[in-house]
C-alpha cells in the first residue's frame, strides 16, 4: 500500500484528524501532507494539526494541540463536568511551574512538577477528539485551593453540584487534599459535600 493510501486510512480511523507527530509513528515523510492538502483531502487547522476537508474539530482539542503540556482545569474543567452553568470567558490550563505561557485566550495556572499530573485523565469530547483534563476530585481541590481567585457564585454552584453527584469519590478527594495540604480547609466544606 502506498503512503497516500496509508495516510488516508489512518485519517479515516483517527476521526478525520492527522497530526504531524503521527507521521513519525507511521514512518512517512511529511511531504505527503502537502500532497494531501494539494489534493484538498485535508486542511491545515493549526501548526501540526490537519483534518479531513469538511471535518469540524473542537476548539478545546485545537487549543490543547497548541499547548501540549497544558491540562484543562479550574473553570474549564467545571464546565466539562457540568458543575457550572457559565461558559468560561477564557480557557483555564494548568502547566508545570517551569513553563510560562502568555496568551489572551487562556488563563494559565502553574503548579510544581511533582503535583502536575495528580488527577490527570482523558475526556472524550462530542466530536470524537480527546483532551487532557483533571478529574472531578482534582478539579474540586483546585477550586478550593484558588477559592479567593474564583467568582464566589461559580465556587458555590460547583460545590453544590458536586455534592449532588451520587458517585463522587470522597476518598480520592481526601487523598488529593492531603497531597495539596488542604485537609483542614476541606474539612470546612465536607459537610456541604455530604
Distance (Å) of CA 193 to CA 77, 112, 163, 168: 18, 28, 4, 9
Helix/strand/coil percent split, the chain, to 5: 45, 20, 35
Residue of 140 and 29 predicted with greater confidence: 140
Residue 193: per-residue pLDDT: 64
Domain boundaries, the chain: 3-57, 60-193
Residue 28: per-residue pLDDT: 86
Return the CATH number of the domain spanning residue range 3-57. Answer: 1.10.10
pLDDT digits (tens, 9 = 90+) for 34-91: 888 888 988 888 888 888 888 888 889 888 988 989 999 999 999 999 999 888 889 9
- The structure's pTM equals 0.84
Are 158 and 144 spatial neighbours (Cβ–Cβ below 8 Å)? Answer: no
DSSP 8-state symbol, 4: H
Q: How many residues does the chain have?
A: 194
Residue 192: per-residue pLDDT: 64
Q: Is 39 exposed, middle or buried (0-12, 13-18, 19+ CB in 10 A)?
A: exposed
What percent of the chain shows pLDDT beyond 70? 98
Amino acid at each position: 500500500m502506498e503512503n497516500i493510501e496509508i495516510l488516508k486510512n489512518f485519517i479515516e480511523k483517527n476521526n478525520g484528524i492527522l497530526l504531524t507527530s503521527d507521521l513519525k509513528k507511521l514512518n512517512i515523510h511529511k511531504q505527503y501532507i502537502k500532497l494531501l492538502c494539494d489534493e484538498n483531502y485535508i486542511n491545515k487547522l493549526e501548526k501540526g494539526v490537519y483534518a479531513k476537508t469538511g471535518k469540524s474539530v473542537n476548539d478545546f482539542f485545537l487549543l490543547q494541540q497548541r499547548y501540549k503540556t497544558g491540562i484543562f482545569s479550574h473553570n474549564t474543567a467545571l464546565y466539562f463536568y457540568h458543575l457550572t452553568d457559565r461558559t468560561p470567558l477564557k480557557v483555564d490550563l494548568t502547566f508545570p511551574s517551569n513553563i510560562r505561557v502568555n496568551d489572551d485566550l487562556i488563563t494559565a495556572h502553574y503548579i510544581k512538577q511533582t503535583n502536575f499530573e495528580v488527577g490527570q485523565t482523558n475526556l472524550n469530547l462530542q466530536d470524537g477528539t480527546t483532551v487532557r483534563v483533571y478529574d472531578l476530585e482534582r478539579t474540586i481541590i483546585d477550586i478550593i485551593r484558588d477559592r479567593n481567585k474564583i467568582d464566589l457564585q461559580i465556587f458555590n454552584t460547583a460545590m453544590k453540584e458536586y455534592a449532588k453527584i451520587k458517585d463522587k469519590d470522597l476518598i480520592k478527594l481526601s487523598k488529593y487534599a492531603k497531597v495539596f495540604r488542604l485537609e483542614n480547609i476541606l474539612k470546612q466544606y465536607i459537610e456541604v459535600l455530604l
